[in-house]
Amino acid sequence: MQSSRFDALIIGSGLAGLTLALNLAETRKVALITKRTLYDSSSAWAQGGIAAVLSIEDSLEAHVRDTLIAGADLCNEAMTRHIVGHGPQAIQWLIDRGVHFTRDNQNETGYHLTREGGHSVRRIIHSDDATGKVVQLTLTRQVAQHPNITVLERHIAIDLITSEKLPHARGNNRCYGAYVLDIYTGEVRTIAAQNTVLATGGAGKVYLYTTNPDVATGDGIAMGWRAGCRVANMEFVQFHPTCLYHPHAKSFLITEAVRGEGGVLRLPDGERFMPGHDERAELAPRDIVARAIDFEMKKRGLDCVFLDISHQPADFLVQHFPTIYKRCLELGIDITREPIPVVPAAHYTCGGIVTDQRGRTDLDNLYAVGETAYTGLHGANRLASNSLLECLVIGLSAVEDILTRALVSDLPLPDWDESRVTDADEEVVISHNWDELRRFMWNYVGIVRTNKRLQRAQHRIRLLSGEIDEYYSNFRVTSDLLELRNLVCASDLIVRSAMLRHESRGLHYSQDYPEALPRATDTILSR
């Protein structure tokens, strides 16, 4: 067993985690753990860009208004103003770090700004159609070279170490670090930290079809919940309307910006259908577009619909969407001449661990940032390209708070105890349970829900939870087991939250409760 001590432990290597690591490392000793490589995260997959008020044609009030409208009256307005208000400062931090955004000398900002669904003006700053990749590569290089940052790749957190696990510290409700599995060696490390940050992303992999990478298994949300943190609004899962439909295109997203630049959705016969669902047509918020596609597919028995931007000049498409153009062409689809087959897919977890404007959770010295957290910015539906903005602003706010905390003497932490477990005899149980979970979540807790479907899902989750708890208690932990355990926990939170919401609002649509209630309230779960 190995034991380590740091000033800050950051769990997750997306934009939120990298932002915290680089800023804290100026004066603190930082450990950053990631399940795969430093580069692997949902942030790296982000295509569209980052929403911020940068143009003279835009305003703080307009960005706030667009966010509140998309959030279906469930956004926290104070939090929204805080995050939107600090947007330009956060973008400037990225530019100062060397991130290259797409230029446009005819725009007074010097950068090309695009528009996405739900936005009233062009305010999305981007790096072509691979913003996340460019940002992630720029920051990971700096993190990897920083002398104050210890990067632990191929490590997965098991659980947080809290006062409950320390008899000599009970009563102060604090986090002291985490138990972490070294996937290479199978050893469990005890990592003590003055401050711990959950930045593990969302839980998209609870669904059969998702735009998320394989690492998005709800780890931070599940760990925070088990440690005693409140969780809010887990029923609001955003399904991106346009994921490429192709047997060899796993999880490939077609960015919102394609519709922002004039792309239209069509049926197989070429008929355009979005104007019949919403007056904003293809530029309606994601929940409306995803539900419209789901409706048309089920009504007509379709495998997919088609996103057509072939009417735009070929040079324009190749210049603005080089990643999409190249990937589609590899699969035999020329977007300059033909439409793109698309389907909705689970994309973003709007709920998460409850935090304040500084990323603080219910446990002292424990922070949650990014998709893992529920700040109140996204409400019942996330406005496109607000997610990376939240990672940056709350990440920088959390840094300010952490740096104000005095360093205190460390307590001795118990080592991980595996004296009463053995190696698993049939690991096929894990893969079977994983597949079953993702299929019934897609069928029963998807874009359109009913009470009966939710009850069926809850029954299966209870059975799976019992099997996994028994497995966890008797066998040595593996990364697959830990991810499945966290996925089941996240699924349970989604279903429980959905069953408590007796209305349709934003991303949560129930056939049993098709109308919105007069007053919007958060769904908050506590242990």
Give residue-wise pLDDT tens across range 161-176.
Answer: 998 888 777 667 899 9
Average pLDDT of the segment spanning 224-236:
97
Give the end of a domain, one of 347, 376, 391. Answer: 347
Global pTM? Answer: 0.91
Q: How confident is the model at residue 157 (pLDDT cuts 50, 70, 90)?
A: very high
CATH label of the domain that carries residue 292: 3.90.700.10
Asked if residue 79 and residue 65 are part of one domain, the reply reads yes
- Residue 422 placed within a domain: no
- Residue 34 placed within a domain: yes
Among candidate residues 259, 286, 382, 460, the one labeled active-site is 286
CA distances from 218 to 200, 291, 353, 429 (A): 7, 24, 11, 20
**Count of H-run helices and E-run strands, the chain:** 14, 20
- Residue 99 placed within a domain: yes
- Residue 286 among the catalytic residues: yes
Answer whether residue 361 shows pLDDT above 80.
yes
Answer whether residue 425 shows pLDDT above 90.
no
pLDDT at 316: 96
463: which residues sit within 8 A by CB, 6+ positions away? Answer: none
Answer whether residue 130 shows pLDDT above 60.
yes
Answer whether residue 31 shows pLDDT above 70.
yes
Tokens read off for 217: 């298994």
- Residue 113 placed within a domain: yes
Asked if residue 124 and residue 56 are part of one domain, the reply reads yes
In which element (H, E) is residue 95 found?
A: helix 87-96
Tokens read off for 209: 């079809």
- Residue 414 placed within a domain: no
For the chain, what percent of residues have pLDDT higher than 70? Answer: 99
CATH label of the domain that carries residue 443: 1.20.58.100
Asked if residue 398 and residue 325 are part of one domain, the reply reads no
Residue-wise DSSP of 389-416: HHHHHHHHHHHHHHHHSPP-PPPP-PPP
Asked if residue 329 and residue 358 are part of one domain, the reply reads no
For the chain, what percent of residues have pLDDT higher than 90? Answer: 80
pLDDT at 170: 65
CATH label of the domain that carries residue 395: 3.50.50.60
Nearest to 307 by CA among 330, 350, 273: 273
- Residue 467 placed within a domain: yes
Asked if residue 222 and residue 97 are part of one domain, the reply reads yes
pLDDT at 426: 66
- Residue 413 placed within a domain: no
Q: What is the chain's mean pLDDT, rounded? A: 93
Answer whether residue 1 shows pLDDT above 60.
no
Asked if residue 330 and residue 221 are part of one domain, the reply reads no
**What is the number of other CB atoms lying within 10 angstroms of the CB of residue 264?**
18
Give residue-wise pLDDT tens across range 429-474.
Answer: 888 899 999 999 998 999 999 999 999 999 999 999 999 998 898 8
Residue-wise DSSP of 240-280: EEEEE--TT-TT-B--HHHHHTT-EEE-TTS-B-GGGT-TT
453-483 core/surface letters (b: 16 or more CB in 10 A; e: else)? bbebbbebbeebeeebeebbeebebbbbbbb
Number of domains in the chain: 3
Give residue-wise pLDDT tens across range 369-420.
Answer: 999 999 999 999 999 899 999 999 999 999 999 999 988 877 888 889 887 8
Q: Which amino acid is at 496?
A: R
Asked if residue 216 and residue 96 are part of one domain, the reply reads yes
- Residue 421 placed within a domain: no
Q: How confident is the model at residue 428 (pLDDT cuts 50, 70, 90)?
A: confident
What residues pair up with 505 in beta bridges, in sequence order?
A: 508
94-120 core/surface letters (b: 16 or more CB in 10 A; e: else)? beeeebebbeeeeeebebbbbbbbbbe
Tokens read off for 453: 């479907």
Tokens read off for 22: 């680089």
Distance between CA atoms of residues 81 and 62, nearest Å: 11
Q: How confident is the model at residue 248 (pLDDT cuts 50, 70, 90)?
A: confident
Give the ranges where 321-450 is alpha helix by DSSP (H): 322-330, 387-404, 428-444
Distance between CA atoms of residues 23 and 20, nearest Å: 5
Asked if residue 343 and residue 366 are part of one domain, the reply reads no
Asked if residue 140 and residue 21 are part of one domain, the reply reads yes
pLDDT at 2: 60
Asked if residue 226 and residue 248 are part of one domain, the reply reads no
The answer to whether the beta carbons of residues 347 and 381 sit under 8 Å apart is no
Tokens read off for 517: 């209630």
Asked if residue 437 and residue 389 are part of one domain, the reply reads no
pLDDT-wise least confident of 43-47, 101-105, 495-499: 43-47
In which element (H, E) is residue 31 found?
A: strand 30-33
Q: How confident is the model at residue 423 (pLDDT cuts 50, 70, 90)?
A: confident
Sign of CA dihedral 151, 152, 157, 158: negative
Token pair 């003006």: residue: 121
Domain that holds residue 433: 428-525
pLDDT at 168: 74
Distance between CA atoms of residues 256 and 274, nearest Å: 15
Give the end of a domain, one of 347, 362, 390. Answer: 347
Average pLDDT of the segment spanning 346-372:
97
Token pair 């009970």: residue: 170
Asked if residue 372 and residue 282 are part of one domain, the reply reads no
